[in-house]
Amino acid sequence: MVNCLFEVTRYQWLGAIVLVLLVVPGYGGRHSFRQLCITEEQQRGRCVPVKQCDSVMTTLRKDTLTPEDIQYLYGTECGRTAEGKALVCCPQSSLVPVGGPMESGINTTIRVNAEEKQPTEPTLEVAPNACGLQSAVKLTNLTIGHHPWTVLLHYGGQAHSTQFNCSGTLIAPSYVLTSASCVDDEAAWNNLTVRLGEWDLESTVDCILDPDSDDLVCADPSYDVPVGQVILHEAYTGRRNDIALLKLAQPAQLNDWVSPICLPESPVLNETAKYGAAGWNQNTCADPSSRYKQLSSYDALNQKACERYVPSVAGTSYGFVCVAVGEEQPLGDAGGGLTAVRTIDSAGRSVHELVGVLSSLSSCANFQGVSVYTRVAQYVDWIESKLVVPSDGA
């Protein structure tokens, strides 16, 4: 499995950062920038941004936080700047001079809660027909900005639900592609909901400490959109044509964290390419599901080898993409997407395209070290015939 550069121990303090700097009321009331304050150790200090306080930054950089560290961070938050940045009560001895080495870095917004809608910088200007673009927020690790087209499906009808049935892929502002087997229970369609912009299932606001700039980079909060229409493939039989479109009740708001992927241009499968799948290991066989969205890289089987894993009732292997799954790699989230990178011009610029949708042929009950995806290239005409152009009233 291709993991983010931060180890699990560093994720343990990520939750603490969010609680301390985004949610928990500060010690001694609310203060304004550079206002005098008193620390929990009864020292005289100033209310300053996080990266202007050496003692706070030193604590945040630790691989593992002790209970004393967490208690210290709980007591530092003292207010917000006009732009929404967290302020901490920093003792005079730990203040970093304004304009000093920790003052540089990208300008990001830190949110107090999910209801605040301050813009995150830098933002991605999404053109109406843009697709397959990764986040413009450049981090050295695959964290909150990667695969912004990956969505989750649930029937809870409750905001911030963490129980998900399947995954899916945003292919247009109003449409998600998933497997028909994920959404073939018509009785549950009224509660079917799509979660967009998710990374950390246990956090309302997803944040990560950028190791290059020491900025706390926070994504726009994830959000739920109800499904307005479920479109199953007309020839779906349970095994064959396992593909479906979900039309959202309202278009997704595109930004750095939510963006559609491109549909494949060529029907030819590149059997030597590397393919990726992002998800939370919801199809857990033995390993627990992941709190964080993770990216795995796979090699495709040739069509002849793929035949072994496609029963005759499902059709021929040319309707599927088979990938080899290593011992420590996840099977994949049901309905989730298999992606590839496509070069689009002579300058080497590239976009991501959706190659496959994980089918019901892949499950813990019949898993043989290969995941079987419905091949999207075989259904592009069907997909495009179902999309309603916005100018027509969608």
User: Do 238 and 281 have their domain in common?
Assistant: no
Instruction: Assess whether pLDDT exceeds 50 at residue 27.
Output: no
d(CA 36, CA 43): 11
Q: Is residue 78 within 8 Å of residue 31, measured between CB atoms?
A: yes
Instruction: Tell me whether residue 154 is in a domain.
Output: yes
Instruction: Tell me whether residue 105 is in a domain.
Output: no
Question: Picking from 193-197, 199-203, 206-210, which range would have the lowest pLDDT averaged per residue?
Answer: 206-210
- What are the helix and strand counts (H, E) for the chain? 5, 18
Reported as a pLDDT band with limits 50, 70 and 90, residue 318 is confident
Give the HSE-up count for residue 121: Cα atoms under 13 Å, Cβ half-sphere: 9
Instruction: Assess whether pLDDT exceeds 50 at residue 104.
Output: no
User: Do 240 and 299 have their domain in common?
Assistant: no
Instruction: Tell me whether residue 253 is in a domain.
Output: no
Comparing C-alpha atoms, which of 392, 215, 384, 233 is closest to residue 319? 233
The tokens for 120 are 């995150």
Give the pLDDT of residue 181: 93
Instruction: Assess whether pLDDT exceeds 50 at residue 8.
Output: no
Reported as a pLDDT band with limits 50, 70 and 90, residue 330 is confident
d(CA 333, CA 325): 13
Give the pLDDT of residue 175: 97
Reported as a pLDDT band with limits 50, 70 and 90, residue 125 is very low
d(CA 372, CA 366): 11
Question: For the residues 355-380, what does the mean pLDDT come to?
Answer: 88
User: Do 215 and 283 have their domain in common?
Assistant: no
Give the pLDDT of residue 259: 94
CA 63 vs CA 58, 66, 96, 119, 288: distances in Å: 11, 10, 22, 30, 23
**CATH code of 307's domain:** 2.40.10.10
Give the pLDDT of residue 203: 79
Phi and psi at 322, nearest 5°, equal -105, 135
- 30-61 pLDDT, tens digit each: 445 567 788 877 777 888 888 888 888 888 87
d(CA 92, CA 206): 31
Question: For the residues 298-323, what does the mean pLDDT come to?
Answer: 87
The tokens for 289 are 């599901």
Give the pLDDT of residue 365: 64
Phi and psi at 208, nearest 5°, equal -150, 145
User: Do 166 and 237 have their domain in common?
Assistant: yes
The tokens for 210 are 């950028």
Instruction: Assess whether pLDDT exceeds 60 at residue 13.
Output: no
Which residue matches tokens 């059997």?
271
User: Do 212 and 279 have their domain in common?
Assistant: no
Give the pLDDT of residue 102: 33
Instruction: Tell me whether residue 230 is in a domain.
Output: yes
Question: Picking from 55-64, 118-127, 199-208, which range would have the lowest pLDDT averaged per residue?
Answer: 118-127
User: Do 311 and 242 have their domain in common?
Assistant: no
Instruction: Tell me whether residue 381 is in a domain.
Output: no
Comparing C-alpha atoms, which of 85, 80, 112, 95 is closest to residue 39? 95
CA 1 vs CA 267, 330, 332, 359: distances in Å: 28, 7, 11, 20
d(CA 204, CA 310): 40
User: Do 236 and 319 have their domain in common?
Assistant: no
Provide, rounded to the nearest whole percent, the portion of the chain with pLDDT above 90. 33
Instruction: Tell me whether residue 180 is in a domain.
Output: yes
User: Do 321 and 225 have their domain in common?
Assistant: no
Average pLDDT, the chain: 77
User: Do 360 and 286 have their domain in common?
Assistant: yes
Question: For the residues 281-310, what does the mean pLDDT come to?
Answer: 84
Instruction: Tell me whether residue 102 is in a domain.
Output: no
Q: Is residue 169 within 8 Å of residue 178, measured between CB atoms?
A: yes
- 72-91 pLDDT, tens digit each: 776 787 876 665 566 788 88
Give the pLDDT of residue 15: 47
User: Do 284 and 232 have their domain in common?
Assistant: no
d(CA 243, CA 178): 6
Q: Which residue has the higher pLDDT, 314 or 194?
A: 194
User: Do 244 and 290 have their domain in common?
Assistant: no
Instruction: Tell me whether residue 15 is in a domain.
Output: no
Give the pLDDT of residue 18: 44
The residue range of the domain holding 287 is 274-376
Instruction: Assess whether pLDDT exceeds 80 at residue 265.
Output: yes
The tokens for 290 are 């992941």
Give the pLDDT of residue 85: 62
Q: Which residue has the higher pLDDT, 113 or 296?
A: 296
Burial of 96 (0-12, 13-18, 19+ CB in 10 A): middle
The tokens for 98 are 């304004």
Give the pLDDT of residue 232: 97
Which residue matches tokens 């911030």?
160
Give the pLDDT of residue 299: 93
Sheet strand arrangement including 36-38: 36-38, 44-49, 86-91, 77-80
DSSP-derived 3-state class of residue 129: coil
Q: Is residue 290 within 8 Å of residue 281, measured between CB atoms?
A: yes
Q: Which residue has the higher pLDDT, 137 or 140?
A: 137
- 208-237 pLDDT, tens digit each: 777 666 667 778 889 999 999 999 999 998
d(CA 266, CA 352): 13
Comparing C-alpha atoms, which of 47, 98, 106, 105 is closest to residue 76? 47
Cβ-Cβ contacts under 8 Å for 264 (sequence gap 6 or more): 340, 342, 353, 354, 355, 376, 377, 380
For the chain, the C-alpha Rg in angstroms (whole number) is: 23
Instruction: Assess whether pLDDT exceeds 80 at residue 179.
Output: yes
Give the pLDDT of residue 380: 96
User: Do 72 and 167 have their domain in common?
Assistant: no
186, 213, 248: which is the final residue of a domain?
248
Total number of domains constituting the chain: 3
Q: Which residue has the higher pLDDT, 288 or 309?
A: 309
- What does DSSP assign to residue 134? P
